[in-house]
């Protein structure tokens, strides 16, 4: 499992480590790792032009010491001293190695630009001259490497207020920071290279975590010799309507392709007809009224995709939420909950899977604020709504009370197409009915969903292209086999 931490957690661990090693050890370790990564990005170190953007803090010192090592290997290293003060030891090392200070005009001629302006303690908008330097680095043709975190990105939350350095690679020290995994910050980082400086024994429980393929493989339910369809998990799905049938077909498809033991689908006659035609494996029920008693016993429910928000839909949602098994609520079901949050008062687990717009209605918060501070608002949602929450988006976050927020790192921008969320609901419902906790079920479902989308979008040439929601469902058995 990959883990990430807030700035305060990292600084506390650094202080504990520094008490056990000679002064300057951590900076030397960081600078050495940074210089090695930078050297590997250059076609040849000797004769290359390297520009350091140097701020006032230790982040600037890391850049200066790394620049000194590159200068000793023959690089032409020039430092723009942007802070009110400069790390004295780092500057002396750079000048002794043959580096020099320079004005901002050197940025456009650099092969490599090292962003050492603001470290993990930075928050809020970049001040001048940092803001202008961030813009100049973004406009220059050279590669940009961020030191620990791109300047302008809040290391603890991923929030970006105003301009930020857009790096092609981020070299971070000791442990990953939350803001490197969570958008909007993640989009400024490029790939993240971790340099070990010895923090491991001093790190607390993580603030953020991300499942790996191995983690998901360990969690996924597996049938055994004595398994039957009922032991493997029976999922009930209430989705679709006479008007919206596609969501029902996709949600059922996601569940079946993810390996559900049995799917019981209930809806209006038109939606049931479509599901019967496409998925004969499902047991279907045409609903006549708000009761789900005739559907049969299930281990979990998926509620909401395409079901509408009228009076009949509300009554049906009330009936499902009154059951004593876990319920995953998506799409129209979330709109119903936003209009009546009292429906969330239930004894069994509830899982919500909103995108930012749906969460804005649930919390009565503008969507823009949620997008700007996704970590803050997914935690707020858990606390206020008493549910497990999967917040969809360019970074998918999964939160449960008193647990690390999980960040899903699989997927592709091609997932931004209609119906993929319905497939995700079906996958998560299958895992929920198979015995996983809500937290683990949606975490694994998001991981599988992303892998299936990546597999579906990969063409013969190895590139990536458009996908449809059903393509994601179709790839699920292959992805699960691969794990």
Q: Is 394 annotated as a binding residue?
A: yes
Q: Is 196 annotated as a binding residue?
A: no
Can you tell me the distance from the alpha carbon of 41 to that of 35, in angstroms, rounded to the nearest whole number?
10
Q: Is 226 annotated as a binding residue?
A: no
**Contacts within 8 Å (CB) and 24+ apart, 279-282:** 279/249, 279/252, 279/253, 281/256, 282/252, 282/256
Q: Is 229 annotated as a binding residue?
A: no
**Contacts within 8 Å (CB) and 24+ apart, 466-472:** 466/414, 466/417, 467/412, 467/414, 467/415, 467/417, 468/417, 468/419, 469/250, 469/417, 469/418, 469/419, 469/420, 469/422, 469/423, 470/250, 470/253, 470/419, 470/423, 472/254, 472/415, 472/420, 472/423
Q: Is 214 annotated as a binding residue?
A: no
Strand order in the sheet with 192-195: 100-101, 76-81, 49-54, 112-116, 143-147, 169-173, 192-195
3-state secondary structure of 317: helix
Element (H, E) at 31: helix 25-41
Q: Is 285 annotated as a binding residue?
A: no
Q: Is 306 annotated as a binding residue?
A: yes
CB 405 within 8 A of CB 448: no
Can you tell me the distance from the alpha carbon of 303 to that of 426, in angstroms, rounded to the nearest whole number?
10
Q: Is 247 annotated as a binding residue?
A: yes
Name the H helices within 243-329.
246-257, 269-278, 311-321
CB 423 within 8 A of CB 479: no
Of 413, 391, 418, whose CA–CA distance to 464 is shortest? Answer: 413
Q: Is 342 annotated as a binding residue?
A: no
- Cα 56 to Cα 61, 88, 242, 263, 361, distances in angstroms: 8, 10, 63, 60, 42
List Cβ neighbours of 270 (8 Å cut-off, separation of 6 or more): 240, 241, 242, 245
Q: Is 433 annotated as a binding residue?
A: no
Q: Residue 12 corresponds to which tokens in the numbers above?
A: 């506390």
Q: Is 461 annotated as a binding residue?
A: no
Q: Is 267 annotated as a binding residue?
A: no
Q: Is 445 annotated as a binding residue?
A: no
Rounded to 5, what percent of the chain is helix, strand, coil? 45, 15, 40
Q: Is 170 annotated as a binding residue?
A: no
Q: Is 115 annotated as a binding residue?
A: yes
Q: Is 311 annotated as a binding residue?
A: no
3-state secondary structure of 136: helix
Residue 87, judged by CB atoms within 10 A of its CB (0-12, 13-18, 19+), counts as buried
Q: Is 148 annotated as a binding residue?
A: yes
3-state secondary structure of 26: helix
Q: Is 44 annotated as a binding residue?
A: no
- Cα 179 to Cα 133, 155, 418, 462, distances in angstroms: 21, 4, 28, 30
Q: Is 60 annotated as a binding residue?
A: yes
Q: Is 408 annotated as a binding residue?
A: no
**Sequence ranges of the binding site for K(+):** 59, 115, 151
Residues annotated in a binding site for AMP:
392-396, 421
Binding positions:
58-62, 115, 119-125, 130, 148, 151, 247, 306, 355, 392-396, 421-422
Q: Tell me the binding residues for (6S)-NADPHX.
A: 58-62, 119-125, 130, 148, 247, 306, 355, 422
């Amino acid at each position: 499992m990959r883990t990430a931490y807030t700035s305060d957690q990292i600084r506390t661990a650094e202080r504990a480590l520094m008490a056990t090693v000679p002064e300057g050890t951590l900076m030397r370790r960081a600078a050495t790792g940074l210089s090695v990564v930078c050297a590997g990005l250059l076609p040849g170190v000797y004769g290359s032009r390297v520009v350091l953007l140097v701020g006032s803090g230790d982040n600037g010192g890391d850049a200066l010491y790394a620049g000194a090592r590159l200068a000793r290997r023959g690089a032409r290293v020039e430092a723009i001293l942007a802070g009110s003060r400069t790390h004295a030891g780092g500057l002396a090392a750079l000048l002794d190695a043959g580096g020099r200070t320079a004005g901002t005009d050197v940025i456009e001629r650099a092969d490599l630009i090292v962003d050492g302006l603001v470290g993990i303690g930075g928050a809020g908008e970049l001040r001048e001259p940092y803001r202008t330097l961030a813009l100049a680095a973004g406009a220059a043709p050279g590669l940009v490497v961020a030191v620990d975190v791109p300047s302008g990105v809040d290391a603890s939350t991923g929030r970006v207020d105003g301009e930020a350095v857009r790096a092609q690679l981020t070299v971070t020290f000791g442990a990953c920071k939350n803001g490197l995994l969570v958008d909007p910050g993640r989009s400024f980082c490029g790939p993240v290279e971790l340099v070990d400086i010895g923090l491991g024994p001093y790190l607390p429980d993580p603030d953020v975590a991300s499942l790996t393929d191995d983690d998901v493989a360990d969690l996924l339910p597996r049938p055994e010799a004595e398994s039957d369809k009922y032991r493997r998990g029976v999922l009930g799905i209430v989705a679709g309507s006479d008007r919206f049938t596609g969501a029902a077909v996709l949600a059922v498809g996601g569940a079946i392709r993810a390996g559900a033991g049995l799917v019981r689908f209930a809806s209006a006659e038109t939606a049931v007809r479509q599901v019967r035609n496409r998925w004969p494996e499902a047991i279907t029920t045409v609903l006549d009224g708000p009761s789900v008693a005739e559907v049969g016993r299930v281990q979990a429910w998926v509620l909401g995709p395409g079901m509408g928000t009228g009076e009949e839909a509300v009554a049906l949602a009330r009936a499902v939420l009154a059951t004593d098994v876990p319920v995953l609520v998506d799409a129209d079901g979330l709109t119903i909950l936003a209009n009546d949050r009292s429906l969330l008062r239930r004894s069994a687990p509830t899982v919500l899977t909103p995108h930012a717009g749906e969460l804005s209605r649930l919390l009565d918060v503008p969507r823009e604020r949620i997008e700007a501070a996704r970590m803050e608002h997914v935690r707020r949602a858990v606390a206020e709504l008493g549910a497990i929450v999967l917040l969809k988006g360019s970074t998918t976050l999964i939160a449960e009370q008193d647990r690390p927020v999980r960040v899903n790192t699989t997927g592709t921008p091609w997932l931004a197409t209609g119906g993929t969320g319905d497939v995700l609901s079906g996958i998560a419902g299958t895992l929920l009915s198979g015995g996983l906790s809500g937290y683990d079920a949606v975490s694994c479902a998001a991981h599988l969903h992303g892998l299936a989308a990546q597999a579906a979008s990969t063409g013969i040439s190895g590139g990536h292209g458009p996908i449809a929601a059903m393509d994601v469902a179709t790839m699920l058995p292959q992805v699960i086999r691969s794990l």
